[in-house]
Structure 1
């Protein structure tokens, strides 16, 4: 027989701000044995999981709710993606060395002397319990669901980026007109956020350059982003005035793609032969960009610095964007095969695949 069903607020010694919540159902079976089903609330809990809080939960039940130490405490996790109900009997001892004994769903029904409907009453679908949960969450951490505050400088930079953002349709027009490389470069140099939108991670922490010098030439665009180890994206752009794959039985890539691949190979050889000086150079340019130096058409994100460590190695990614897609399935296979046999980190995009990844209007 079920005696009660409520949301418990429990505390940790000397840590009021870490109070947690869980669902408690108390049963008395036909042998007059008290059983307590302790259900985890997943993301609705304000503290650690019931597994990591079990001693505090049991102590609260014993001291404040007069549960006996001989009660049977059963830890419970409700189903989630790829997981069924999980049950464990909790064994407490004076040495505070808690033990968990896994038990089956059927065994739980036997112990509680209840049916499937009781266990199937999902906590977050129970309106009364959900109200209790939200009220307790508000009491414990009233600001927990408020968004983080942003610095004025961040907000103003975000507004500036959005105000000057070139529409997705402008790029689409160039693609559908099979425009030349020069036409794409002229458009993209006026809004480097195109590349940040797809490649930056975190998506607000980046700096992008155009015509960045490497050896005796330059790369069309370079994006710096990442956390801890900096990600360096070297981006080469070709026009949309050719199909990615040539017609014919062999369906080889257009010669312009081979040209770009060879440019990448030469560039990577130089970079890795001079990796320390190259790393120092890109970090120096990153710092200058965030100090409002407009070298190489520098374009920074809302976050006022990239979250990277200049003393760590860098990750170098090579991107080539060019040509038109005619057959997605066939070209996807060909691109993957081309990238994997290139033996160097290399990503090939057609203008069609690049366009589809953009989130802007």
Structure 2
């Protein structure tokens, strides 16, 4: 039975302003208190909820909303994904929509609609957003150059639907690579921070090799993310095996190891080269297919170290395959600077239609 449903305002050290999420409390016949935290997507004024859910839970306790809760659940409005988490935000296990309906003893309509599609909830969201900042939807006026570039990016944007159709058709690495190269804002949408300060490259050279995509972003200390992709024509996990990833994942990881070796064997000269490339791109040179954000120049310090990360996007993940998800998490624990995504999980991070 649901006993409460409201929009909660919280503050995290990761955020400049307060953020929002939807909170629902349930009590079942086992007398278990269940707290469901829902990520309300672009209306949240916050990062992905999974990065700050520990702060939200602590705030709920500190402010007296929660006293003794047995189960915490993280819910994403965008794709209706759900997972039981501990109070520190660590995922314990994933749930299906049916499982959460049974656990909370609610009807099938409870998680059928997005929060912004429920009028009473949408009004709460809008009220809280204006409490945070009355100009939250129009905080500053953009320069003409910014607006011009923004329009160019929007007009050439590839829809999420088009990419999903290609993935669902089991596209090859070459087909996916070709599509993303037509719209490098697909990369920026996920890995840029701030969202409008980035430079994306394709076929970026690392010694004698090249990485499929690279993105420079952030402020002060530059974040550099190198991305290797493989096709969507295989499953992440070997068929019939419960402890092995597909050989193509190891192929991509081998490429990452080579990239990492080159970078850290030549770190200082490589760091300086990254900033030289950045400046050439910012000046308008089409170096390595440079794709610039509306803000053409990054506010980074060329004298500081750079944060280097790697991403592999490859294969498919069958729906609700928890064992395969566990393999992915194990992979990331073994290589902490490498993130592995199937195309199914990667595309869910895109916020465009």
Scaled to the shorter chain, the TM-score interval is 0.5 to 0.7
Give, in whole Å, the separation in 1 of the partners of 2:295 and 2:156. Answer: 17
Q: Which runs of 4+ in 1 moved over 3 A?
A: 80-85, 142-146
The alignment of Structure 1 onto Structure 2 pairs a total of residues equal to 228
1:83-162 counterparts in 2 under 5 A?
83-84=62-63, 147-162=139-154
Note if 1:332 corresponds to 2:325. yes
Separation (CA, whole Å) in 1 of partners of 2:340 and 2:324: 10
Does residue 176 of the first structure (1) align with residue 168 of the second (2)? yes
**Cα–Cα, structure 1 residues 143 and 186, in superposed 2: closer, same or farther, change >3 Å?**
closer
Separation (CA, whole Å) in 2 of partners of 1:223 and 1:244: 24
TM-score (ref. length: structure 2): 0.61
Cα RMSD over matched residues? 2.3
Q: Deviations over 1:162-199 (max 9, x none)?
A: 01001111111110110100001110111000011011
In structure 2, the partner of 1:247 is 239
TM-score by length of 1: 0.60
Aligned partner of 1:260 among 240, 252, 255 = 252
Aligned to 1:190: 182
Counterpart residue number, 1:271? 263
Match of 1:224 among 194, 211, 216: 216
Gaps of 5+ in 1: 1-79, 86-133
Residues 62-73 of structure 1 aligned to structure 2 (within 5 Å): none
Q: Is the counterpart of residue 346 in structure 1 residue 351 in structure 2?
A: no
Residue in 2 that maps onto 1:238: 230
- Residue deviations 1:215-243, cap 9 Å, x none? 11100000000111110000001000110
Give the direction of change, closer, same or farther, for the CA distance of 1:155–1:253 in structure 2 (3 Å limit). same
Deviations 1:324-347 (A, max 9, x none): 0014422221111111123x5100
Larger Cα-atom Rg: 1
> How far does residue 83 in structure 1 lie from its aligned partner after superposition?
3.8
* Aligned-partner Cα distance in 2 for 1:358–1:158: 17
- The structural deviation recorded for 1:303 is 1.1
Provide the C-alpha distance between the structure 2 equivalents of 1:231 and 1:144, rounded to a whole number of angstroms.
Answer: 27
User: 2:242, 2:323 within 8 Å by CA — same for their partners in 1?
Assistant: no
Provide the residue aligned with 1:317 in structure 2: 309
Cα deviation, residue 250, structure 1: 3.1
